[in-house]
Structure 1
Amino acid sequence: MRTVPVYGGRMDAGSMAAAGPPVRRDWRAEALATLRLAGPIVLTNLSQMALALTETILLGRLSTDALAAGMLAVSLHFALLAPGFGLALAAAPLQAQACGAGRLPGVAARGWVRAVRRATRAALWACAIMLLPTWALLWESAGVLRALGQDPALAALAQDYTRAAMFGMPGFCGFVVLRGFLAAMERPAAAMWVAFGAVALNLPLAWLLIFPAGLGVLGAGLAIAIANIGMLLALVVLIRRDRVFRRFRLFGRVWRVDGPRLREVFVVGLPIAGVMLLEIGVFTAAAFAMGWFGTVAVAAHAIAIQTASATFMVPMGIGQAATARVGLAIGAGDPRGAQRAGWVAVTLGAAFMATMALLLVTTAPAIARMFLDPADPQSAAVAALGATLLMIAGAFQMGDGIQVVAAGALRGLKDTRVPMLFAALGYWGIGLPFGLLVARYGGLGPQGVWIGLGVGLALVAGMMLLRWRRLSAAAAQEVSRSPAG
């Protein structure tokens, strides 16, 4: 019986008739394939987010000052992690396109396996190179924070966290590179289980170091570093023990520098790092701007940003799945499949974030109270402002989800430079200046900063979506004009 290849399996002619119209079947199959891939990635992201979220809750129980210092430290930590994180993410489209090429008839297994191995090793080297200057800045983070106008006491506390947490950065970046490999192989579950294990380890470890050991903010930084290193080591062991993954020999002669592929990682990855730095940096700048309005504002911002970041992990995971799905289709010479994969992912991300918008708007006060000790004299003020910021965050959930999924789909095409320019314009050219203006001179205070963030996200979402529409349609039309099409 005649068979027709579809992503995620094969379908015979009889099954095709039962499945309904071909276009509807293709979109349904793509949605299922995306959900199967995105599910473990999303859970991995949520697990990683849970590491920071649980520590924020624990620090909030310690004191308002500890919560505020932790927020400043985490903001600076992730802002400076962005270059390494972006280069780690650059491995995903290279790995996916190499795996997709392996589906083409006549392609030797040895060739595409070697391409996957080269991309993985080069990404690991690129991350290592980029983290060296990051460490130098984090070691002197108190001075950096003071220069940015933060309270000296909070800056000193924040430095305790950053000096400990920075040693976990190589573990985090290495984990992201290997997670991209697993996504390209469409087997992301191993990374998910490793991340779950890290959460299970981090919660009691952070509690022990913060409270019984009396290390406070320093203990939180140590706990997150240990968790990140543990995630990388666990994933390395799992990959080396798996029969299929062993054939790639990802860690053989890892000390050898592959110049051409390292350059490719930087070409693709530096704009991704730029987008990450611009996006993380704008929220970091917002956290610093909150310092102008006092400790209560910084603590309330910590509550809102941690909650909004938790919801963001889902579309971020869908976007990472879109990178793999689009990259696999492009590598296999199927631009129409890539176009379908991107639009399916955008639809899934938008639908989820619409639900989260409703949840945040209706339950903001209850969420804010979860982070605080009722006995703290400042808790009532923090909870009230935190609830207001959460409702504003609810209003820009859709824009946040659409921009990250569209960026992930574009990444699957290895289109990274123009999205970086979009992020620069939307976040820093319009969103942040507008927010600071209405906060300082419009009398809106902390709420104005968050309104500016929402405006920036909406603009970036629109630009990303339009670019995805144009590039994906152009690729599909090119196929239609070809003799084979």
Structure 2
Amino acid sequence: MRESTRNHPLRDELRATLRLAGPLALANMLQMAVFAVDVIFVARLGQEALAASSLAVAIIAVVMMGLNGVTGAVAPLIAAEIGRKRNSVREVRRSVRMALWLAIALGLGAVMICFFGEWIMLLTGQNPRVSALAGHFIRVASLALVPMAIANVLRTFVSALGRPMFATVITALSILVNVLGNYALVFGNLGMPALGLTGSALASAITTSTTALAYVAVIRANRNFRRYHIFGRFWRPEWQRLVQMLRLGLPISATLIAEGGLFSGAAFLMGLVGETELAAHTVALQIAAFAFQVPFGIGQAATIRVGYHYGAGNRAAIGHAGWAALGIGIAFVCLSALAMLAIPRTIIAAYVDISDPANAAMVVLAVKYLFVAAVFQLTDGIQAIAAGVLRGVQDTRIPAVIAIVGYWLAGFATSVALGLFTSLRGVGVWIGLAVGLTVAAILLLGRWHWRGRFGLVPEQPAPISATAASAPVASLS
């Protein structure tokens, strides 16, 4: 293996990244399928219900991204600890424990924020009736936030230890739970009451709780995971590790909130443009977000792979891991963009009945939005992976600034100008999304390219024999 690594380091890194990124990307796509189930069931309740759920999800998504950003700091920390010392049980346990503390504490705070959902919507000028429906939806759906944050930490743990397939299997099972929950609670099947929009929110809370419990069961049952005893001495604080996680995680949270806020802000702009435009935006965004899960998964894998080498102090391997992830991501987004351009109506038909005359106007708009989404697939993928590789070298503060500048000063400002003050309307909002993602991608890619100049990597490369992370991903557990 070492001889192969010396002769073909980039090729071996491509293989290692694919082995890790494949299950993670699949798990992300399956998670989007969980969300898609909600959209599919709610869409049958009518455009008003779909618009209300879209506004509610826009707020929940931003809050959830903020939670995942802080707790997600556990990924580069675990990876670096394994890279420095393969028998790093104590260090990994401390990191996971503090991440779980943050997941619970911040998750409860996020629930409180969601109780002001209706007020936030009214403040932005949304339709009062839609805001009332969305406000009730978000209060019920907020029950999913704490178990969702816990599941995110546990998923990162099993993935960093080289077992990402567990995440894939658990997420696949959560789809079944969500389908059954929506089927029973939205329309009153299986002897349950018909709760409509509230039923969908309750189904989400049940699904995330089941997912978190599934991770706990797997970790306690698997010998490789069990030896870390991550639930042992759970009430024992590790303040230094907690501060380190916050130092890394808060900028990650700011980055994800800035990006999520861009898309959620676009949903609010669409609400001002029109109810049909908002419904079309919801469907088109679900499709674009589904495709985005692959480069997002590659970015997650890149954080872990780069983090291994960062912990080992191997400068050359850091570069190989980063560029391998970017190459894989660019290849995929070109394919997804082509699909959106070639068969947009076929893709949209998976979410709504395109033959129904009542949906005709919405479908036309959704096709236009997908065209813009196809255009920004490349830059969206690049910015996600570039952010991931920079997290691997524990560089999070400047990328957060880049995200705010790109997504908001460039992107959202363009969406407001073109969406509300020109005849482009909804298309103008989507052009703004493309501008924001492109600016962020250029700046993040530039920072990665000149990582040595910015002092983000070790001055001298470490010998390959000292690099624990050069081993195959599966052996790291």
Instruction: Provide the TM-score with structure 1 as the length reference.
Output: 0.91
In 2, the alpha carbon distance for the partners of 1:73 and 1:208 equals 21
Q: Alpha-carbon deviation of 1:427?
A: 0.6
1:253 aligns with 2:233: yes
Q: Which amino acid aligns with 2:322?
A: G
Q: 1:47: Cα distance to partner?
A: 1.3
Tell me the CA shift for residue 480 of structure 1.
5.5
Q: CA RMSD in A?
A: 1.9
Q: Which has the higher contact order (CA 8 A, sep 6+)?
A: 2
Between 1:278-287 and 1:464-473, the stretch displaced more is 464-473
Structure 1 partner of 2:51: 68
Tell me which residue corresponds to 2:434: 454
Q: What is the deviation of 1:162?
A: 1.2
* Deviation sequence 1:416-466 (CA, Å, 0-9, x none): 000000000001111110121122222210100000100110110011111
**Residue 377 of structure 1, CA deviation:** 5.3
Between 471-480 and 52-61, report the one with greater CA deviation.
Answer: 471-480
1:298 partnered with 2:298: no
Change (3 A) 1:322 1:480: closer
- Cα distance in 1 between the residues matched to 2:130 and 2:406: 30
Q: Which residue of 2 aligns with 1:135?
A: 111
Residue identity opposite 2:459 in structure 1: E
Once the two structures are superposed, residues 210-233 of structure 1 have per-residue CA deviations (whole angstroms, 9 ceiling, x without a partner) of 112321111111111111111111
1:71-119: CA deviations, max 9, x gaps?
A: 111111111222211112111000111111124xxxxx3xx21110111
Partner of 1:100: 83
Aligned position for 1:85 = 68
Q: How far did 1:133 drift?
A: 2.8
Q: How far 1:479 sits from its partner (Å)? A: 1.2
Equivalent in 383, 391, 395 of residue 403 of structure 1: 383
CA deviations on 1:102-161 (whole Å, 9 max, x unpaired) are 24xxxxx3xx21110111111111222222332112123111111111111111111232
| 1-structure distance, mates of 2:177, 2:337 | 31
State whether residues 60 and 373 of structure 1, in contact with CA within 8 Å, keep that contact through their aligned partners in structure 2. Answer: no
Structure 1: stretches of 5+ with no match in the other structure: 1-9, 104-108
- How far 1:351 moved relative to its partner? 1.0
Q: For residues 400 and 41 of structure 1, what CA distance do their matches in structure 2 show?
A: 18
SS across alignment from 2:75? helix
Matched, 1:146 2:95: no
> Does residue 183 of structure 1 match 2:159?
yes
Q: 2:26 is matched with which residue? A: 43
| Partner secondary structure for residue 479 of structure 1 | coil
Q: How far apart are the structure 2 equivalents of 1:370 and 1:385?
A: 16
Equivalence for 1:26: 9
Say whether the 8 Å CA contact 1:100–1:330 is kept in structure 2: yes
The letter for the 1-side match of 2:59 is L
Task: Indicate the larger mover: 224-233 or 278-287.
Answer: 224-233
| CA distance, structure 2, for counterparts of residue 232 and residue 266 of structure 1 | 22
**Which one of the candidate residues 138, 163, 182 is aligned to 2:139?**
163
Give 2:303's aligned residue.
323
Which SS does the other structure have where 2:57 is aligned?
helix
**Secondary structure of 1:50's partner?**
helix
2:314–2:462 contact (8 Å) kept in structure 1: no
In structure 2, the residue matched to 1:235 is: 215
User: 2:21 touches 2:297 (CA, 8 Å); kept in 1?
Assistant: yes
Specify the alignment match of 2:335 in structure 1: 355
Equivalent position amino acid for 1:281 in 2: G
Following the alignment from structure 1 to structure 2, what is the Cα–Cα distance between the partners of residues 244 and 354? 38
User: 2:460 aligned with 1:479, yes or no?
Assistant: yes
SS at match of 1:414: coil
- 2:98 maps to what in 1? 122
What's the CA shift for 1:366? 2.5
* Counterpart Cα distance in 1 of 2:456 and 2:235: 38
Distance apart, 1:472 and its partner CA: 5.2
Contact 2:316 2:461 in 1 (8 A): no
State the distance in 2 between where 1:459 and 1:94 align: 28
Q: Deviation digits for residues 351-404 of structure 1, max 9, x if unmatched?
A: 101111111111112223332245865310111101110111111000000000
Partner of 1:3: none
Local SS of the residue matching 1:471: coil
Q: Provide the TM-score with structure 2 as the length reference.
A: 0.93
* C-alpha distance after superposition, 1:46-73 (max 9, x if no partner): 1111111111111112211111111111
Which runs of 5 or more residues in structure 2 are unaligned? 467-477
Q: 1:481 to 1:431 in 2, by over 3 A?
A: same
**Following the alignment from structure 1 to structure 2, what is the Cα–Cα distance between the partners of residues 233 and 294?**
41
Q: What secondary structure is seen at the aligned counterpart in 1 of 2:149?
A: helix
2:199 aligns with 219
Quick check: 2:411–2:434 contact (8 Å CA) kept in 1? yes
CA contact (8 A) 1:354 1:397 kept: yes
Q: Does 1:206 align with 2:186?
A: no
Identity rate of aligned residues, in percent? 38
Cross-structure match for 1:6 = none
- For 1:119, give the aligned amino acid: S
Query: Contact between 1:335 and 1:475, CA under 8 Å: does it hold in 2?
Result: no
Quick check: 1:168–1:229 contact (8 Å CA) kept in 2? yes
Q: Where in structure 1 do 4 or more consecutive aligned residues deviate above 3 Å?
A: 373-378, 472-477
TM-superposition CA deviations, 1:235-258 (whole Å, max 9, x none): 111111111211111001212222
Q: Deviations over 1:18-39 (max 9, x none)?
A: x9xx55x211111111010111
What secondary structure does 1:378 align onto?
Answer: helix
Contact preservation (8 Å) 1:296, 1:378: no
